[in-house]
Amino acid sequence: MSSHIFYRKFFFLLMIFFGFNSIFAQKKFTVVLDAGHGGSDTGAQRSYGDLGLVQEKNITLGIVLKLGRMLEKSKDFKVIYTRKVDEYPSLTSRTDLANRSKADLFVSVHVNSSRSSSSTAQGTETFVQGPNQNKTNLDVAKAENDVIFLDEKDKENFASYNPSSPESLIALKIQQSKYLQASLTIGGLVEENFVKKDKRMSRGVKQENLHVLRMNAMPSILIETGFVNNYDDARYISSEDGQQSIAESIYNAIISYKKLVDRNVKEPEPEKPVEQPLKNDFRILLMSSPSRYTVDDPALKGLKYILPIKENGFYKYYYANTNYASIRDTNLKTAKDAGFRNAISISFVPNQALGTGYYTLEIYAGKDKLDSKSAVMKMLPDMERTKENGIFYYTHGRYRTLEDAVKAQKELSDKGVTNTVIEKRTK
């Protein structure tokens, strides 16, 4: 290997590891601020006697404008808003804007809501790209190649870059993994500030498959700043002081994060090893019960992302899903903090077909038979009906893997058939 080629390769790897944009010191650090919802899309809302109508779209805009004003005071930052007024840009136009502007960081601000009307769920949580999103992010990164690599100025450095070569693909995969690591870092800083500075309750940093994160070719976080249907949270996030504190916490996190990025550029030595994804997915088993709860039942203590799986007549309630050890541990802690003291993490082999048996969907369970004229009977006329201990069970479909069943469940839910339960039948 000639020294010239070696230099080129080394430089290329350096760019991969320490950020394409930040290596040029004079370049501004571009942050896209995304105020969730807007216009006719109000987001989560709730009316209170003393607070009036508390609407997510107004809170997210209030926080984002305060945060943007702080960042704009520094010449180091360029701030791009997906909206500055009460309008609704589509999710795709929000991510397109971020990718086009070659942003260094994407911050989406939202307000949470749990499904039960009187919420015990409270506090903040921050989402990063989910366990199954890597492929999509990779596709986006490939599609955005010209944007990422072929800047007029960078063109010479990347003249040898060919996005379809396996070597380049590996480089892109490393880049994707770096985005996730960077997102986890900034997410952790935000949640830490909420706890330490603002004395909020934090539900941690989590992975979730969300469109607005999936389509971004840069480190991205989505911050849920509080629950609209929890009175204390609603009062805080709808107040000027509360919004100012939230904006300051996010601002401080961005400043700390930028310092880490800058230090990485200058001192490449103390690079922390990138956390590698595990082979298996991990869900947290909250409890096993003969009772069939809907996902918003108080028995589930306000936790979201619940997946019930029925097995041998028992409903097992699983919480969240990740293939990263650090996030699995956070999820387990969240479950225990919520009151599931015997919660344990269970590993799932992705896309594993059952040796014998299959997965099916339990559409309905109840004392009465379904009316043959009901909408669900018309939509799924070939349901299988069984009766056990005076309860009628209606099931539909046969699926080889849990992932297939989850997909079918989602499709049914989109058609209005909700609260179905995946059943594992091993005989």
Q: Give the residues lining the site for Zn ion (CB under 5 A).
A: 36, 43, 110
The SS3 assignment for 126 reads: strand
Of residues 42 and 294, the one with the C-beta less far from Zn ion:
42
Q: How far is the CB of 417 from Zn ion (least distance, A)?
A: 24
CB-CB neighbours of 145 under 10 Å: 18
Of residues 127 and 158, the one with the C-beta less far from Zn ion:
127
Of residues 104 and 125, the one with the C-beta less far from Zn ion:
125
Q: How far is the CB of 73 from Zn ion (least distance, A)?
A: 28
**DSSP labels for 47-61?**
EETTTEEEEHHHHHH
Of residues 108 and 409, the one with the C-beta less far from Zn ion:
108
Structure tokens at 140: 């986006």
Q: How far is the CB of 113 from Zn ion (least distance, A)?
A: 8
- Residue holding tokens 């629950």? 227
Q: Give dist(CA 221, CA 182) in Å, integer.
A: 10
The SS3 assignment for 85 reads: coil
CA angle centred on 78, ends 77 and 80, rounded to 5°: 135
**CA distances (Å), origin 119, targets 89, 291, 302:** 30, 22, 7
Q: How far is the CB of 205 from Zn ion (least distance, A)?
A: 17
Q: How far is the CB of 407 from Zn ion (least distance, A)?
A: 24
Ranked by CB distance to Zn ion, the top (closest) residue is 110
Of residues 110 and 328, the one with the C-beta less far from Zn ion:
110
The SS3 assignment for 370 reads: coil
Q: How far is the CB of 37 from Zn ion (least distance, A)?
A: 6
Of residues 43 and 188, the one with the C-beta less far from Zn ion:
43
**CA distances (Å), origin 316, targets 126, 351, 400, 408:** 26, 19, 19, 19
